[in-house]
Chains A and B, each alone.
Chain A
């Protein structure tokens, strides 16, 4: 302190301390880690600005970090631990307690459950994005001594599927758009090439910044000449600025992928050298897609045959080009096959691990080893008590997949079983507002979770989920109040490590890590040797680096070394042989792994369960619900269900919006701004109509994650998480045979005008 050297992470000028940091959570965000400079006066943050020295964000910020002070000093922030008698769930009868009392209560309850029922009867519920996603598994294993953790979401439809596919087909981490993120001088680095085309498939990255990607890098690249091919049911801003927009029917990505691959192979546009040397199963793959002519693809996907053909040609014949895949791949029953096709297409075009293509990172052990050790720290008989389907289905998810745990669908089945193999007695919710956000059929979840005897929740605000379920709520510190490391892509394609530097005192709040460490020391002291988070981070860093957290703190950002063409130099495989780290050593266009789990080795198309062409539902149902409903498009002002209580953000987008084509709206007598019910056989929700050509006349789009912090908190209202929630319309357990993929983004619905949100 006291120096004016701008390179140092903390400087002081005229009584104002400036702290450089990389933002993460809480409040929620993915590990994008944009560079922030916090101005602190008298121990209070008076301003957050973007750090121009951050190599990725370069001074830019999204509105959420700019409005951070409204979270930090929000009058409703949870500032002290509070408990409530379990019989008072859903009422505002909270009693402030000390941390010692809270920790004593947790210890008593956990030990009671351990002794009376067994550690497997404790479990963790986690969400997405927040820093706690790094810890959630470990909260279960190393604190509660249980293998059971669930992300709630049906079909584990978030990131895990794509990571598993990348693992199985490429033997590598998550393939990402090459936006020169590894290089200090970025796009000017002589090793780099600007992609000629970027395929943006099932993703709206400029608003989502998903998994650590700085989304506006796409705009940087547009400014440098990249053209876009956007594959999206919605006419997004990116789609309107694309050279080709493939506006497909939701849930038909696998059919579209078949068509793209077929054109590229039939017209001989693929990279023969890469295919011959580095791909396995090309002949079988080519045969499998050969029946998917653009005309047939048009019938299924609604994408005109010519647009498909021309986009395929543009992409394959203009190298290097890049491609990015999004959550839409995770969110469909048929998503594993769509992902298989995506990876197959970029591979046969020769765009993997080349400048301006898709980056692949060598496997990183940072944090991974610790998380692995956490699982094996459990005695084998406890590890065997992972909640999984009793008939052995979904073995890809339960045995081999990335981000394992209990599938949300299985959890519900378990809770609804009359005599489950063991009951669930104690739950710990770390970073999830499942009732408003991730749970398919949220009211069913609420009903079933009530049988759990004791719930702990870590949060920064009172949410519907905490109000409905928790018996003890622990207030979490924000990213300005604790230290940490931001690791874009959670270690699977990490272009930099960023320091989360503490700027202000956390008061009576604690970080998710600190809570885990404190309770770990009480409950499983033998595996928690670290004195504090810094000691822990140092030990993690030392698995790969010879420097400490303090070094990272000083530099704020350390970009990672990177090389292209690692498949040629043996740097993608554990045994250092050239090739890919798959069973065949090659990119697996035909999977040698899926058949072991009873899944097809080659991709196929499966019609969504609820669709106008489905043969799994009756014609009457199809006639009654004539529209296709897609959900979950991102809004940059909000991270999933967060930020609805931040005035600067909410004022810019006050209501949940359903986007409807003007002609479709007119047919239903709906005007812009009307409240509209959206309904199907599974359930119903209400949102405000936004009439726009963004929607195809046959497709409507609903926003997700809405609750109303301004409404009554007590049950049954609970801040209204079920009113505008499109997850009411998502079926239970219609997921892929791997266990992955629920159709959150492709069901059917009807719409009609109603009087208001509550009607």
Chain B
């Protein structure tokens, strides 16, 4: 299990695919494989309001870019995320990181 968690404040995820391509390049993955994949919900009207959200989900190939983190950098997906809505934190810091972010936040421990 990873020592780090990927926290995504997905109210700001625009589905831009940057994380997918950044990960592919970082890990040298072929096009049939992926380290993270954007999923889409909606647009659908729920309770009178539109929901239209994207959430990227890391795959079994995601190693949280531990080598990058250890070198003082952010994971490739986090570094490039156009919505600036991804963070990587040690798992013990999940609580303090998500609190204050409000609604629509997910946490992955790949």
User: In the bound complex, what is the Cα–Cα distance between A245 and B50 (angstroms)?
Assistant: 11
Structural contact, A237 and B31, CB atoms closer than 8 A: no
B82 within 8 A of partner (CB): yes
User: In the bound complex, what is the Cα–Cα distance between A158 and B84 (angstroms)?
Assistant: 30
- The number of chain A residues with a CB under 8 A from chain B is 37
Residues of A within 8 A of B51 (CB): 240
Among A48, A50, A220, A237, the most chain B Cβ lie within 10 Å of the Cβ of A237
**Nearest CB of chain A from residue B97's CB, rounded to whole Å:** 15
Residues of B within 8 A of A693 (CB): 42-45, 50
A295 within 8 A of partner (CB): no
A523 within 8 A of partner (CB): no
CB closest chain-A residue, reference B25: A66
User: In the bound complex, what is the Cα–Cα distance between A59 and B84 (angstroms)?
Assistant: 10
A74 within 8 A of partner (CB): no
Structural contact, B82 and A66, CB atoms closer than 8 A: no
User: In the bound complex, what is the Cα–Cα distance between A703 and B22 (angstroms)?
Assistant: 25
Residues A591-640 near B (CB distance < 8 A): 636-637
Structural contact, B14 and A216, CB atoms closer than 8 A: yes
User: In the bound complex, what is the Cα–Cα distance between A652 and B18 (angstroms)?
Assistant: 11
Contact for B83 among A48, A58, A216, CB less than 8 A: A216
Structural contact, A219 and B84, CB atoms closer than 8 A: yes
Structural contact, A235 and B12, CB atoms closer than 8 A: no
B61-79: CB near A (< 8 Å → 1, else 0) gives 0000000000000001001
Structural contact, B43 and A648, CB atoms closer than 8 A: no
Given contacts A220-B84, A222-B12, A692-B43, contact A66 B21 (CB under 8 A): yes
**Nearest CB of chain B from residue A310's CB, rounded to whole Å:** 15
A635-665: CB near B (< 8 Å → 1, else 0) gives 0110000000001110110000000000000
Structural contact, B52 and A237, CB atoms closer than 8 A: yes
Residues of A within 8 A of B31 (CB): 647-648, 651
Contact for A240 among B22, B50, B80, CB less than 8 A: B50
Given contacts A62-B82, A219-B82, A222-B12, contact A235 B18 (CB under 8 A): no
Residues of B within 8 A of A241 (CB): 11, 52
Residues of A within 8 A of B12 (CB): 219, 222-223
Contact for B17 among A235, A652, A692, CB less than 8 A: A652
CB closest chain-A residue, reference B17: A63
Structural contact, B52 and A62, CB atoms closer than 8 A: no
User: In the bound complex, what is the Cα–Cα distance between A48 and B26 (angstroms)?
Assistant: 10
Given contacts A66-B25, A235-B43, contact A636 B83 (CB under 8 A): no
**Nearest CB of chain B from residue A463's CB, rounded to whole Å:** 22
Contact for B82 among A69, A216, A240, A651, CB less than 8 A: A216
Structural contact, B79 and A637, CB atoms closer than 8 A: no
B15 within 8 A of partner (CB): yes
A49 within 8 A of partner (CB): yes
The prevalent SS among residues of A at the interface is: mixed
The prevalent SS among residues of B at the interface is: mixed
User: In the bound complex, what is the Cα–Cα distance between A235 and B43 (angstroms)?
Assistant: 8
Structural contact, A66 and B16, CB atoms closer than 8 A: no
Contact for B18 among A61, A239, A651, CB less than 8 A: A61
Residues A217-251 near B (CB distance < 8 A): 219-220, 222-223, 235, 237, 239-241, 245
CB closest chain-A residue, reference B51: A240
A459 within 8 A of partner (CB): no
CB closest chain-A residue, reference B81: A60
Given contacts A50-B80, A241-B52, contact A63 B43 (CB under 8 A): no
Residues B2-32 near A (CB distance < 8 A): 11-12, 14-18, 20-22, 24-25, 31
Given contacts A49-B79, A59-B79, A63-B21, contact A694 B16 (CB under 8 A): no
Structural contact, B18 and A63, CB atoms closer than 8 A: yes
CB closest chain-B residue, reference A61: B80
Residues of B within 8 A of A207 (CB): 14, 16
Residues of A within 8 A of B21 (CB): 63, 66-67, 648-649, 652
B interface bracket (residues with beta carbon within 8 Å of A): 20 to 34
CB closest chain-A residue, reference B14: A206
Given contacts A67-B25, A651-B31, contact A240 B20 (CB under 8 A): no
Structural contact, B82 and A235, CB atoms closer than 8 A: no
A47 within 8 A of partner (CB): yes
Contact for B20 among A63, A235, A692, CB less than 8 A: A63
Given contacts A47-B25, A222-B12, A647-B31, contact A62 B18 (CB under 8 A): yes
User: In the bound complex, what is the Cα–Cα distance between A59 and B42 (angstroms)?
Assistant: 30
User: In the bound complex, what is the Cα–Cα distance between A222 and B103 (angstroms)?
Assistant: 14
Residues A196-220 near B (CB distance < 8 A): 206-207, 216, 219-220
Residues of A within 8 A of B44 (CB): 693
Residues of A within 8 A of B18 (CB): 60-63, 66
Residues of B within 8 A of A240 (CB): 42-43, 50-52
Structural contact, B14 and A219, CB atoms closer than 8 A: yes
Among A49, A69, A649, the most chain B Cβ lie within 10 Å of the Cβ of A49
Residues of A within 8 A of B43 (CB): 235, 240, 692-694
Structural contact, B50 and A235, CB atoms closer than 8 A: yes
Residues of A within 8 A of B84 (CB): 58, 60, 216, 219-220, 223
Residues A34-63 near B (CB distance < 8 A): 47-50, 52, 58-63
Residues of B within 8 A of A636 (CB): 16-17
Structural contact, B52 and A235, CB atoms closer than 8 A: yes
CB closest chain-B residue, reference A650: B31
Structural contact, B16 and A63, CB atoms closer than 8 A: yes
Residues of B within 8 A of A69 (CB): 25
CB closest chain-B residue, reference A209: B82
Residues of B within 8 A of A235 (CB): 43, 50, 52
User: In the bound complex, what is the Cα–Cα distance between A219 and B81 (angstroms)?
Assistant: 11
**Nearest CB of chain B from residue A651's CB, rounded to whole Å:** 5
User: In the bound complex, what is the Cα–Cα distance between A630 and B33 (angstroms)?
Assistant: 35
**Nearest CB of chain A from residue B35's CB, rounded to whole Å:** 13
Contact for A66 among B11, B22, B42, B54, CB less than 8 A: B22
Given contacts A47-B25, A216-B14, A692-B43, contact A652 B80 (CB under 8 A): no
Residues of B within 8 A of A58 (CB): 84
By Cβ-Cβ distance, the 7 closest A-B pairs, closest first, are A240-B52, A63-B21, A240-B50, A216-B82, A66-B21, A651-B31, A693-B43
Q: Return 14 A-B CB contacts under 8 Å, by A number.
A: A49-B76, A60-B18, A60-B81, A60-B82, A61-B18, A61-B22, A61-B80, A62-B18, A206-B16, A216-B82, A235-B50, A237-B54, A240-B51, A652-B17
Interface residues of B (CB under 8 A from A): 11-12, 14-18, 20-22, 24-25, 31, 42-45, 50-52, 54, 76, 79-85
Interface residues of A (CB under 8 A from B): 47-50, 52, 58-63, 66-67, 69, 206-207, 216, 219-220, 222-223, 235, 237, 239-241, 245, 636-637, 647-649, 651-652, 692-694
Known contacts A60-B82, A241-B11, A245-B50; can you find 6 more A-B pairs with CB under 8 A? A49-B76, A49-B79, A207-B16, A216-B84, A235-B52, A240-B50
